[in-house]
Amino acid sequence: MSIFDEAKIDCHSHVFDPERFAYQAGNFYLPAGQERGTPALFTKLLDAYGVQHALLVEPNSGYGPDNRCLLDTLARNGGRLKGIAVVANDATRGELEDLKSAGIVGIAFNPALFGAAYYADAGGLLERLAELEMIAQIQVQGDQLIELLPLLQASGVRLLFDHCGRPNVGAGITQPGFAALLELGRRGKAAVKLSGYAKFSQQPFPHADTEPYVRALADAFTLDACVWASDWPFLRAPERIDYGTLLKRVERLFPAAEDRRKLLWETPCKLFGFAAEVPATN
């Protein structure tokens, strides 16, 4: 069976619809051209590649904490999609409860963009997420995780790391930030997205220099805590990226069908609350 025929969940994608939901005034980056991946185009993409579900992540680019486009997309897709929202560090429990009832399963934290110090006052938010059994989705790069670990662990919140932790590929798997991420995996304290290779690779596709990191993560976390994601529509990508070639790379990295079943379906169903029964695609 081809990977295109296997059950799949894409665990990190974005939607942009500035004609219906204007970008946030003064935002640092406004996606344009092929980066404007509308909700309608996204659902067609999922259907074309046999992807049953997706986890949509609110983008800091364009929208920031204005989650209207994300929430509208979730509401129009009848449970096929779930979301990760962006909120202020002082977001209240009531705000989080409202988001959860609308299909939001977690909140995005992006030290890779804003710096670790930006989240120094986010301890209360992390605790509220833990109380509501929601996820803190963390995007770090390099060794940022070392600075953030005390804050993250004190809350007891469920942790999900973006894009393989975005290590420095020239520093090896023993670099402090990546070693700390691997230790979280070994201790069963987090999950990780095997995704975003173009964000930290120093080579063109298929980004062979990222493979030691992917394999180290799969070993440390096991596929019970790894999920796959495309990062569509590939904002500020250094070169063209195609959805189909990303899926074929999964097939090469994980040639055993039972491993792909766990990575692409069973684990994300468990982590994000999707129904385990495979729905029919259009």
Percent of the chain, pLDDT > 70?
Answer: 99
- The whole-number pLDDT of residue 222 equals 98
The confidence band for 282, taking pLDDT boundaries of 50, 70 and 90, is: very low
For residue 278, what pLDDT is reported? 80
Domain residue ranges in the chain: 3-272
The predicted pLDDT at position 78 comes to 86
Mean pLDDT of the chain: 96
3-state secondary structure the chain: CCHHHCCCEEEEECCCCCCCCCCCCCCCCCCCHHHCCCHHHHHHHHHHCCCCEEEEECCCCCCCCCCHHHHHHHHCCCCCEEEEECCCCCCCHHHHHHHHHCCEEEEEECHHHHCHHHHCCCHHHHHHHHHCCCEEEECCCCCHHHHHHHHHHHHCCEEEECHHHCCCCCCCCCCHHHHHHHHHHHCCCEEEEECCHHHHCCCCCCCHHHHHHHHHHHHHHCCCCEEECCCCCCCCCCCCCCHHHHHHHHHHHCCCHHHHHHHHHHHHHHHHCCCCCCCCCC
- Kindly report, residue by residue over 103-122, the tens digit of the pLDDT: 999 999 999 999 999 999 99
Domain 3-272, what fold?
A: TIM Barrel (3.20.20)
Q: Kindly state the percentage of the chain with pLDDT values over 90.
A: 96
